[in-house]
Amino acid sequence: MLPLNDITSAVKFKLLLYANDSALIVPGNNTKEIQQELSNELESIRECLIDNKLSLYLGKTQSILFASKGNLHKINSIQVQFTGSVLSFTQMRNSMGPKMDH
């Protein structure tokens, strides 16, 4: 079993772990910086997993961009590189609160 401290100390951003799933949260305002930070963090995680004789399953690995409605249209995609591959990409619009009927 991989000690959680090993993997959480391998990254500088927030890493959420639940059962066999995880989410790496990298905030930012600059798409290129976010792409680079995600790539760097994934490499750190990969090295930690290799040290513990584990691997990252790329079949379920994807990048998801959360943004406000006003900013989402400005971004076509982000391209996160990992071991020579580009992760699949999904956009999520944050409504910044519930919608209320009048």
| pLDDT tens, position by position, 16-48 | 888 778 888 888 888 888 889 989 998 998 898
Average pLDDT estimate for 56-76? 76
Burial label for 45, CB within 10 Å (0-12, 13-18, 19+), is buried
Q: What does the domain layout of the chain look like in residue ranges? A: 4-94
Q: How far apart are CA 49 and CA 19, in angstroms?
A: 16
pTM, full prediction: 0.74
Kindly tell me if the per-residue pLDDT of 81 is higher than 70. yes
Q: Which helix (H) or strand (E) holds 90?
A: strand 88-94
- Spatial contact of 63 and 75, defined as CB atoms under 8 Å apart: no
Burial label for 4, CB within 10 Å (0-12, 13-18, 19+), is exposed
Average pLDDT estimate for 49-67? 82
Average pLDDT over the chain, rounded to whole? 78
Query: Bigger pLDDT: 3 or 55?
Result: 55
- Spatial contact of 78 and 63, defined as CB atoms under 8 Å apart: yes
